[in-house]
Amino acid sequence: MRPMRRRSLREWLEWQSTLHPSAVDLGLERCRRVRDAMGLDTSRVPRIVVAGTNGKGSCVAFLEAMLTAAGLRAGTYTSPHLLRYNERVRIGARAVSDAALVEAFERVDAARGDVSLTFFEFGTLAAADIIERARVDVAVMEVGLGGRLDAVNAFEPSVSLITAIGVDHRAWLGDDRESVGREKAGIMRTAVPCVIGERSPPESVIDRARTIGAPCRILGRDYGFERQPDHWRWWGPGRAVGALPPPGLAGLHQVDNAAACLAVLDALSPRVAVSDDAVRNGIAGARIAGRLQWLDMPARVLVDVAHNPLGAEALAAYLASFRPRPMRRAVCGILGDKDAAAMLHVLAPEIGVWYFASLPGSRGRDARELAGKLPYAAVSLAFDSVEAAFEAALGHRGEGEEIVVFGSFVSVERAFRLATSRICPET
């Protein structure tokens, strides 16, 4: 049933989660029907659609920062959020208000008729509606799951971006990189440029581009970069940009992401003009919560939403870059449908003591089961919640030791809230 009165954002979100029989129901028909009923114009502004296994959120952050530095107004859509649903939709680099979301939800509900939408589909349509009404200069939309059948793929791109591809969401995308790549490549369009953010993409991605006639720009072949002691230089088919600063987002892999975003802007030129100075300022100024982020608290705490093997590899590489390596305690909660064994195998050499946390819900995983997936004997403790595991790690921490929180957005969100309450007890 539809809401019978004006509801708060929280009430709308709770209602949306009950609207469709299943949380994930891939397909474009429902979104396209409601999109057309709403009269959403998908061609008025340049639109960048971002897919991939890892790096999507970081790329959206780089693009938003560079566009903003160029004096352009960007509308961005990402998921999931870390602390507030409003984080998913940003206009002019600011999260939208509860009122803007509620009004968009009302418009989606009025247009959908008897179409049953998933939680993600409802939110995607609302985001597209808000972005269109804001009359932005550029829209940037992040795919939620896969690409070919994801709700975001109901909106036509001016440029597509496919970031690093790994194996994740096996039940929906397949058990190998070729299968996953085939789904991600579904965002490509005939004669529409597609930037590939890795040097050796799956053959399925290249085959799809060749079959439909989508011009591809591949990292290391059509664009790339050269590292120098204190800066780096980007080159591409339309321009070259030198004296680039280290990315504002931590991790060596972020240069790959920033380079891919520069290739996207190059593909949009001259329709979208971003100067070299705006590129430099945007790369240095990009920020995104929960990605290799050090929390501002007396304890030295690093949080990272790494939730699959590819993300764990990036986190491990970042931790390994510190010399000398400090003693580290890890607070870790991983959802039940993730390859926890592969993640722990990659990170085990960087961690001294493990604090495993059970996660709630149908996708949750018990902490004791998680501890059993360690690749070799290690000191580990199991807790019923992320909060309990984090408190224990803080209590056990010795001088000079670090705490690393990772495994899922849920794990990072709960540690984030607990850390905030300890820093600012009144909030």
Per-residue pLDDT tens digits for 297-336: 888 999 999 999 999 999 999 999 998 889 999 999 999 9
Which tokens is 147 given?
A: 């690409």
Which tokens is 156 given?
A: 């036509």
> Cα separation of 279 and 58, whole Å?
15
**Residue 5, pLDDT score:** 56
* 274 lies in the same domain as 302: no
- Decide: 32 and 58 in contact? Cβ < 8 Å: no
> Cα separation of 394 and 216, whole Å?
48
> Cα separation of 147 and 167, whole Å?
14
User: Which of 54, 75, 52 is closest to 63 using CA atoms?
Assistant: 75
- Buried/exposed code over 359-390 (b: 16+ C-beta within 10 A; e: otherwise): beeeebbebeebbebbeeeeebbbbebbbbbb
Q: How many CB atoms lie within 10 A of CB 264?
A: 26
Would you tell me the crossing angle of helices 276-285 and 253-268 to the nearest 10 degrees?
Answer: 140
**Residue 167, pLDDT score:** 80
Here the CATH number for the domain that contains residue 146 is 3.40.1190.10
Largest CA distance in the chain: 62
* 269 lies in the same domain as 171: yes
**Residue 158 structural domain:** 9-285
Domain count, the chain: 2
**Residue 42, pLDDT score:** 74
Q: Where are the alpha helices (DSSP H) in 135-176?
A: 170-173
Out of 252, 267, 285, a domain closes at 285
* 131 lies in the same domain as 106: yes
Rounded average pLDDT over 120-146: 96
> Cα separation of 293 and 83, whole Å?
14
User: What value, to the nearest 5°, has the Cα angle with vertex 306 and ends 130 and 18?
Assistant: 45
* 136 lies in the same domain as 26: yes
> Cα separation of 210 and 188, whole Å?
11
Out of 285, 305, 335, a domain closes at 285
Give the tens place of pLDDT for each residue, 336-395.
989 999 999 999 999 999 999 999 988 899 999 999 999 887 899 999 999 999 999 999
Out of 285, 311, 343, a domain closes at 285
* 35 lies in the same domain as 172: yes
> Cα separation of 60 and 90, whole Å?
11
* 270 lies in the same domain as 321: no
Which tokens is 10 given?
A: 């929280």
Rounded average pLDDT over 191-217: 97
* 58 lies in the same domain as 129: yes
* 336 lies in the same domain as 355: yes
Provide, rounded to the nearest whole percent, the portion of the chain with pLDDT above 90.
84
Phi, psi of 404 (to 5 degrees): -115, 125
Which tokens is 49 given?
A: 């659609």
